[in-house]
């Protein structure tokens, strides 16, 4: 297809109609880029985007018209108004990203020219960038890169509507290009200096994430138990602790208020610091462990009992809790070490702390209070604890994911009537009884257990491992862990939730698509473990490759690399990369020239003519040159004419078939070369006969062959 | 200042790309720069890098580097698209002033495919499309003409933006051959065809029967019948008589017939007459100062006459460095102004 047109604009800008196929790729890319956002975006926004892109596509097909300016402005204002109402003035990165998606959607109504196409290309690329803020898993990374590849194919179609070789050639071209530049990309990724953020950027989405929260109602954690989402993964420097010892403490709930346990007072406000997702660096020491936590938007970090902070992005606070310096709005890696279990017994509880841990509502649950009274009278603090646990162990209490509703005096009905509950119920009830008996106690929320990842290299803790237990203050022994669940359903603590509720069959009963639900099927288990391993390595080494890890890696290189050296190195890589690429292409071109032997013979002949005082004029045919040469040097006239004729017949003959042509042209070449040397000889002879008359003579000394 | 830079640049280009009808695109004469879209893309990469730095997001770094590298890769691809391509001016066409004159060009790809190539001259352009490696494609590029004479565009721009439109690689071909632009036909006044309609022997008529004769010295191309041989015998000077009566002849289209009119306008009249006669299929000859074409008929003859009209008084552009001939870029010379006002009515 070929057409010509006159215009005063640049040729490319003039095309009013975008090629449909190019647009299709753009729309496909948009669809792909929306998928990582689906869990985050409001439904109406996704629908609006689908409708707008569909509208554009139908308009391309000619079935509907694109809206005029008035209607377009109306739609735009209406949608922005709806958006503003939805957002209600809360400005976060999350809402900004939603707004960005909305603008992309609106832009569809305005894609008429190639320029609009490029604008869409830019904003879609940036949408992929924004996606990376929210999802860093390997499959989402692949989705984003794939969407960008679709965009690049779309650009190819835009620039060459009759894309030669079809889309397949386009993909191949793109693939080859990506493969060629991959080494440079990897080098840049490794060596580009990771700077401190230029300004501080809060990324808290304000969107609820699944995970434990800072309040606990009976029933909260059991709903969490239906989620198989990953909470965090741990790699141990030494041997993995036993399943029953893996109590990951997250936060402490110390206030009971209308049946809900909560933290007393809010977390103190801290200015959001620099983003710092670096864990510790270097090899894990035997007692150390690395945690890679999924984003929670919270400050709390999970740690085994008696841990110490190693990496500097977590701080140990009172009550043995760990907190991040800024909310974990993206996956965070941190490093802790197991401390000595003995030794750090605090002498006594301060008065305000005792008050805090003995707080109870003024009334309610009379039977539980009576039970506490009874226990109190019979023995000391330790005895009360032991008796309470024995009661849980001996009486027919059940551990269930389907607890009955206990609206009034929930603790009473759990302890004496229903006797069926989940860890949160029992932890709350046990704390209540202990406090009634005058023993300071608190509910601890976190995770318990965890499953080995592929090859037992690391531990995966999922949301269904969420757990609640009790800590009580015993004079002389400090805070001790009391887990009523361990007394009621030892299998929960020994081997996890799956075993504990196996009889009931309620494990992940609502999430039928989760691979964990079918964990008993070996193949599925294996596949999901392998996938998780890939993702874990991806997150540890690629996503988590940040300032500290980079400097750590660099410090292992000889010479001790600092930030400045890294900068130089990056500049060097870019420079050398460009240079190498340039050299390669120059070599290719040189080789291409060498591949045309006729061209070389011809060039040699031109040189010869030049020396003979007949320089070739631009655009001159070989025949014309030959006759001029014949005029200047009659001695070579015949050879020159024959040479020119042969060259002509080579360049202007009909293309012959490949096989026989090769043999022919070899012979021809030989003859051409022979003619060339004949001419040289003749010229030399002519030069000797009449010295001084030909320009050739002056150079003949240099020319010995 | 700007103008100085531009002329310097032009001179540098002209040195780099000598005039030739065969133009092989190599590293020496190929230029590559980002397009406007490419510059914006560069800014986008910068913004992405900033985002990556501020959110300490490794994957954003990664995607930024990837796209940056794709940009560099595209540079090579775009360059290779044109490099090795050979552009040959196969035929410079003919046409009437004010029309687009077709320049037939042949593009032969080297060892790489040439994809999405555009040829352009001033403000006309033609899309060449795809030239597979080792093959060639012919294309006609229309070049706007303004006045009659030789038409040679200063440069034909060959450009590609493939694959992504972020970069453009281009070169200029500076052809040697020129097209011939016939004078724009303008209906000639009636006087010519009505006068002396009955006389069939104008060509062989003897000079004696004429009263209004203009005497002028002999010029090359004057017919021997018109030489005043008697006078030659007397004084030894070759003198030619131009007879007013000649214009009345239907066989002869005479430049001198339209006395008092502008030369270019006369040529336009003659051009119109040639077309008319040629359409009617009658025999006619053409008498131009310095050139006479004997009466004949047929399209070849008409074409010959038109060519003669086109290049009358014009120098064929031969020099390798001269600027454009006849294209719009050359309109700043004096001749163009007068002719355009006369010819475009």
pLDDT tens column, A455-476 = 788 899 998 888 999 999 888 8
Q: What is the pLDDT of residue B155?
A: 86
Q: How far is A118 from chain B (nearest CA, A)?
A: 7
Give A-chain residues touching B48 at CB under 8 angstroms. 125-126, 129
My answer on whether B142 and B203 are in the same domain is no
pLDDT tens digits along B133-164: 888 889 999 888 888 888 888 888 999 998 89
Same-domain pairing of B236 and B289: yes
Query: Which tens digits make up the pLDDT trace of A164-197?
Result: 677 888 899 899 999 988 988 998 888 888 877 7
Please state, in angstroms and rounded to a whole number, the distance separating the CA atoms of residues A448 and A209: 19
Residues whose CB is less than 8 angstroms from the CB of residue B267 and which lie 6 or more positions away in sequence, other chains included: B148, B183, B255, B309, B312
Spatial separation of the C-alpha atoms in residues B65 and A570, rounded to whole Å? 12
Does residue B61 sit in the same domain as residue B28?
Answer: yes
For B79, which residue in chain A has the nearest alpha carbon? A585
pLDDT at residue B278 in the model? 87
Identify whether residues B141 and B211 lie together within a single domain.
Answer: no
The answer to whether A180 faces chain B, any CB pair under 8 Å, is yes
The pLDDT tens digits of the residues spanning A413-446 come to 888 888 888 888 899 999 999 999 989 999 999 9
Which residues 43-102 on chain A approach chain B with CB closer than 8 angstroms? none
**pLDDT of A701 strictly over 70:** no
Convert the pLDDT of each residue in B192-241 to its tens digit: 443 343 444 444 444 444 444 567 777 666 667 667 777 778 777 777 76
Q: Give residue A316's pLDDT.
A: 84
Instruction: Verify whether residue A483 is a known catalytic residue.
Output: yes
Q: What is the pLDDT of residue A692?
A: 43
Least confident of A93-102, A453-462, B179-188, B330-339: B330-339
In degrees rounded to 5, what are phi and psi of residue A286? -55, -35
DSSP for A651-678, written as a single string: HHSPPPPHHHHHHHHHHHHHHHHHHHHH
Cβ within 8 Å, pair A129-B51: yes
Average pLDDT, chain A: 80
Tell me whether A155 touches chain B (CB under 8 Å): yes
Q: Is residue B49 part of a domain?
A: yes
State the virtual CA torsion across A512, A515, A519, A521 in degrees, nearest 10: 90
Average pLDDT, integer, range A559-573: 75
Per the structure, the complete domain to which residue B216 belongs is given by 191-315
Q: Residue range B302-318: average pLDDT? A: 85
Q: Catalytic pick from A254, A329, A409, A423?
A: A423
Closest among B105, B282, B275, B284 to B182, alpha carbons compared: B275
H or E, element range at A149 = helix A138-159
| Residue A701 DSSP symbol | T
pLDDT of residue B204: 41
- Note whether A122 contacts B: Cβ–Cβ < 8 A: yes
Residue B333: inside a domain? no
pLDDT digits (tens, 9 = 90+) for A342-371: 555 666 778 888 888 888 888 888 899 999
User: Given this model, what pLDDT does residue A409 score?
Assistant: 79
Six-digit token pair at A304? 């085994």
User: Chain B residue closest to A574 (CA)?
Assistant: B69
pLDDT tens digits for range A319-333: 888 888 777 777 788
User: Model pTM?
Assistant: 0.72
Q: How many CB atoms lie within 10 A of CB A533?
A: 17
Q: Which residue has the tokens 């690399």?
A: A561
With CA atoms as reference, the chain B residue closest to A331 would be B57
Interface probe, candidates B14, B32, B43, B55, chain A, greatest A C-beta count within 10 A = B55
| Beta pairing, strands B179-182 & B94-96 | parallel
Minimum Cα–Cα distance from A570: chain B residue: B65
Q: Which of B103, B114, B109 has the alpha carbon at shortest distance from B136?
A: B109
Q: Is A420 helix (H, G, I), strand (E, B) or coil?
A: strand
- Closest by CA to A431, choosing from A220, A216, A225, is A216
What is the model's pLDDT at position B339?
A: 38
In DSSP notation, A546-580 reads -HHHHHHHHHHSTT---HHHHHHHHHHHHHHHHHH
Q: Are residues B309 and B252 in the same domain?
A: yes
Residues B38 and B168 in one domain: yes
Copy the structure tokens of residue A666: 């070899």
Assess whether the previous peptide bond of A652 is cis (omega < 30° from 0). Answer: no
In a domain, B142, yes or no: yes
| Mean pLDDT, rounded, for B322-333 | 49
Active site residue A467: yes
Quote the pLDDT of residue A640.
84
Q: Would you call A277 an interface residue with chain B, using a CB distance cutoff of 8 Å?
A: yes
Q: How far apart are CA A679 and CA A292, in angstroms?
A: 79
Same domain membership, residue B156 and residue B25: yes
CB neighbours of residue A306 within 10 Å: 15
Q: Is the pLDDT of residue B63 over 90?
A: yes
- The reply to whether B161 falls in a domain is yes
Distance CA A110, CA A120 (A): 10
In the block, which residue shows the tokens 């770094």? Answer: B61
Per-range mean pLDDT, top range of A12-26, A137-151, A397-411, A566-580: A137-151
Residue A146 has a pLDDT of: 95
pLDDT band at B247 (very low <50, low <70, confident <90, very high): very low
Tokens (6 digits) for A98: 């939603």
Nearest to B125 among A11, A144, A192 (CB): A11
Averaged over A502-522, what is the pLDDT? 75
Q: So what's the pLDDT on residue A124?
A: 93
Contact B308, B291 (CB under 8 A): yes
pLDDT of residue B169: 92
**What pLDDT does B290 receive?**
84
**Which tops the pLDDT comparison, A233 or A693?**
A233
**pLDDT tens readout for residues A474-495:** 888 888 899 999 888 888 888 8
Catalytic: A650? no
Q: Please check the confidence at residue B167 and state whether its pLDDT lies above 90.
A: yes
DSSP B61-92: HHHHHHHHHHHHHHHHHHHHHHTT-EEEEEEE
CB-nearest partner of B163 from A12, A155, A585? A155
Q: Kindly determine whether residue B320 and residue A618, on different chains, have CB atoms separated by under 8 Å.
A: yes
Using a 10 angstrom Cβ sphere, with 0-12 exposed, 13-18 middle and 19 or more buried, the burial of residue A349 is middle
Q: Are B114 and B208 part of one and the same domain?
A: no
Q: How far is A355 from chain B (nearest CA, A)?
A: 43
pLDDT tens, A232-281? 999 998 888 888 889 999 888 888 887 788 887 655 555 555 545 556 66
CA-wise closest residue to A51 among A69, A70, A78 = A78
Residues B198 and B171 in one domain: no
B169 and B41 inside one domain: yes
- Based on the fold, state whether residues B69 and B106 are members of the same structural domain: yes
Q: Chain B interface, mutation test: which of A19, A129, A277, most B Cβ atoms within 10 Å?
A: A129
Q: Write down the pLDDT at residue B208.
A: 44
- Dump pLDDT digits (tens) for B72-83: 889 888 988 888
Are B97 and B205 contained in the same domain? no
The answer to whether the Cβ–Cβ distance between B66 and A128 falls below 8 Å is: no
Does the pLDDT of residue A535 top 90, yes or no?
no
Question: In chain A, what is the greatest distance between 2 CA atoms, to the nearest angstrom?
Answer: 138
Interchain pair B165, A122: CB under 8 A:
no
Cβ neighbour number for residue A608 with a 10 Å cutoff:
21
Residue B330 located in a structural domain: no
For A193, nearest residue in chain B (alpha carbons):
B53
A357-389 burial, b if ≥16 CB within 10 A, otherwise e? Answer: bbeeeeebbeebbebbeebbeeeebeebbebbb
Name which of B18, B70, B123 is nearest A177 (Cβ-Cβ).
B70
Query: What was the pLDDT predicted at B194?
Result: 35
Calculate how close chain A gets to B144, using CA atoms only, in Å: 10
Set of chain B residues whose Cβ sits within 8 Å of the Cβ of A148: 63, 66-67
Q: Quote the minimal CA–CA distance from B25 to chain A in Å.
A: 11
**pLDDT number for residue A559:** 66
CB A228 within 8 A of CB A463: yes
pLDDT of residue A122: 94
Q: What pLDDT digit, counting tens, does each position of A98-114 carry?
A: 888 898 888 888 888 88
Residue B344 falls inside a structural domain: no
> Which of A230, A188, A289 is CA-nearest to residue A545?
A188
Q: What's the total number of domains in chain B?
A: 2
Residue percentage of chain B with pLDDT more than 90 = 14
Name the token pair of A500. 């504990």
On the question of pLDDT at A119 being above 50, the answer is yes
Indicate the angle between helix axes B58-82 and A114-134, nearest 10 degrees: 150
**Would you tell me which residues 483-502 of chain A have a C-beta closer than 8 angstroms to some C-beta of chain B?**
none
**In this complex, do A330 and B110 lie within 8 Å of one another by their Cβ atoms?**
no
**More confident position, A299 or A46:** A46
**Domain locations along chain A:** 11-161, 215-359+402-535, 597-699
User: Cβ contact (<8 Å) for A188 and B69?
Assistant: yes
Query: Closest approach of chain A CAs to the CA of B149, in angstroms?
Result: 22
């Amino acid at each position: 297809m070929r057409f010509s047109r006159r215009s005063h604009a640049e040729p490319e800008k003039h095309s009013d109609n975008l090629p449909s196929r190019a647009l299709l790729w753009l729309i496909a890319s948009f669809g792909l880029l929306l998928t990582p956002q689906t869990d985050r975006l409001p439904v109406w926004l996704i629908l609006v985007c689908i409708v707008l892109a569909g509208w554009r596509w139908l308009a391309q097909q000619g079935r509907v018209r694109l809206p005029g300016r008035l209607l377009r402005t109306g739609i735009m204002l209406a949608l922005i108004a709806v958006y503003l109402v939805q957002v209600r003035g809360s400005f976060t990165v999350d809402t900004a990203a939603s707004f960005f998606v909305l603008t992309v959607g609106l832009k569809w109504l305005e894609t008429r020219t190639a320029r609009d196409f490029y604008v869409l290309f830019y904003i879609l690329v940036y949408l992929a960038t924004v996606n990376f803020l929210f999802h860093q898993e390997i499959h989402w990374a692949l989705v984003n890169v794939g969407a960008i590849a679709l965009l690049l194919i779309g650009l190819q179609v835009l620039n060459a509507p009759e894309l030669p070789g079809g889309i397949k050639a386009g993909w191949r071209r793109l693939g080859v290009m990506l493969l060629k530049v991959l080494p440079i990309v990897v080098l840049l990724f490794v060596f580009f200096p990771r700077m401190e953020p230029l300004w501080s950027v809060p990324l808290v989405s304000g969107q609820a994430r699944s995970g434990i929260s800072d309040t606990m109602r009976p029933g909260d954690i059991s709903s969490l138990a239906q989620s198989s989402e990953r909470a965090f993964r741990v790699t141990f420097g030494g041997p993995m602790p036993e399943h029953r010892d893996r109590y990951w403490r997250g936060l402490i709930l110390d206030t009971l208020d209308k049946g809900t346990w909560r933290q007393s007072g809010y977390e103190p406000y801290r200015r959001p610091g620099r983003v710092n997702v670096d864990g510790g660096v270097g090899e894990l020491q035997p007692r150390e462990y690395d945690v890679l936590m999924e984003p929670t938007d919270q400050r709390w970090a999970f740690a085994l009992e008696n841990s110490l902070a190693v990496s500097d992005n977590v701080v140990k606070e009172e009550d043995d809790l760990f907190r991040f310096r800024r909310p974990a709005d993206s996956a965070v890696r941190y490093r802790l070490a197991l401390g000595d279990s003995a030794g750090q017994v605090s002498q006594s509880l301060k008065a305000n702390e005792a008050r805090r841990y003995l707080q109870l509502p003024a009334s309610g649950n009379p039977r539980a209070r009576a039970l506490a009274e009874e226990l109190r009278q019979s023995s000391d603090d330790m005895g009360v604890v032991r008796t309470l646990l024995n009661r849980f162990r001996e009486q027919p209490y059940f551990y269930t994911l389907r607890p009955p509703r206990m609206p009034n005096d929930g603790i009473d009905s759990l302890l004496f009537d229903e006797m069926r509950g989940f860890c949160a119920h029992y932890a709350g009830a046990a704390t209540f009884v202990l406090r009634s008996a005058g023993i300071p106690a608190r509910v601890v929320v976190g995770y318990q257990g965890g499953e080995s990842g592929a090859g037992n290299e690391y531990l995966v803790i999922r949301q269904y491992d969420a757990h609640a237990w009790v800590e009580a203050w015993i004079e002389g022994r400090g805070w001790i862990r009391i887990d009523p669940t361990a007394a009621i359903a030892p299998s929960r603590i020994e081997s996890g939730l799956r075993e504990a509720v196996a009889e009931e069959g309620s494990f992940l009963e609502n999430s039928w698509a989760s691979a964990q639900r079918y964990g008993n099927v070996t193949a599925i288990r294996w596949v999901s473990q392998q996938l998780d391993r890939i993702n874990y390595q991806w997150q540890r080494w690629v996503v988590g490759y940040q300032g500290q890890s980079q400097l750590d890696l660099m410090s292992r290189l000889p010479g001790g690399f600092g930030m400045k050296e890294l900068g130089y190195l990056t500049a060097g890589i870019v420079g050398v990369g460009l240079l190498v690429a340039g050299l390669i292409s120059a070599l290719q071109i040189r080789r291409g020239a060498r591949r045309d032997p006729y061209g070389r013979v011809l060039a040699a002949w031109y040189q010869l003519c030049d020396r003979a005082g007949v320089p070739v004029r631009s655009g001159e045919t070989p025949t014309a040159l030959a006759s001029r040469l014949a005029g200047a040097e009659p001695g070579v006239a015949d050879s020159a004419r024959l040479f020119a004729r042969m060259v002509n017949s080579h360049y202007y003959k009909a293309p012959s078939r490949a096989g026989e042509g090769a043999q022919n042209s070899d012979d021809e070449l030989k003859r051409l070369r022979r003619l060339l040397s004949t001419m040289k000889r003749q010229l030399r002879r002519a030069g000797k006969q009449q010295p001084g008359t030909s320009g050739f003579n002056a150079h003949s000394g240099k020319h010995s062959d | 200042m700007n103008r100085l830079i531009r002329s310097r640049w032009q001179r540098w280009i002209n040195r780099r790309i000598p005039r030739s009808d065969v133009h092989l695109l190599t590293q020496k004469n190929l230029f590559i720069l980002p397009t406007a879209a490419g510059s914006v893309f560069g800014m986008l990469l910068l913004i992405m890098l900033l985002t990556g730095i501020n959110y300490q997001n490794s994957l954003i770094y990664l995607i930024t580097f990837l796209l940056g590298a794709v940009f560099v890769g595209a540079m090579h691809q775009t360059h290779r698209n044109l490099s090795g391509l050979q552009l040959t001016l196969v035929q410079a066409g003919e046409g009437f002033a004010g029309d687009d004159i077709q320049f037939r060009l042949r593009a032969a790809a080297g060892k790489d495919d040439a994809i999405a190539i555009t040829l352009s001259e001033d403000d006309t352009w033609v899309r060449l499309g795809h030239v597979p490696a080792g093959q060639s494609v012919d294309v006609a590029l229309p070049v706007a003409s303004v006045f009659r004479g030789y038409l040679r565009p200063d440069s034909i721009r060959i450009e590609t933006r493939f694959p992504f439109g972020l970069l453009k690689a281009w070169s200029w071909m500076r052809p040697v051959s020129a097209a011939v632009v016939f004078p724009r036909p303008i209906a000639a006044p009636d006087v010519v065809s009505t006068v002396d309609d009955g006389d069939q022997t104008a060509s062989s008529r003897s000079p004696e029967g004429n009263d209004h004769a203009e005497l002028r010295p002999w010029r090359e191309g004057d017919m021997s019948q018109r030489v005043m041989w008697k006078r030659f015998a007397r004084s030894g000077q070759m003198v030619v008589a131009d007879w007013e009566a000649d214009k009345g002849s239907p066989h002869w289209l005479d430049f001198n017939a339209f006395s008092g009119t502008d030369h270019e306008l006369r040529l336009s009249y003659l051009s119109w007459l040639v077309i008319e006669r040629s359409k009617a299929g009658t025999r006619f000859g053409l008498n131009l100062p310095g050139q006479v074409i004997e009466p004949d008929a047929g399209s070849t003859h008409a074409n010959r006459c038109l060519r003669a009209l086109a290049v009358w008084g014009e120098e064929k552009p031969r020099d390798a460095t001269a600027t454009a001939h006849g294209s719009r870029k050359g309109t700043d010379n004096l001749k163009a102004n007068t002719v355009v006002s006369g010819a475009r009515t």
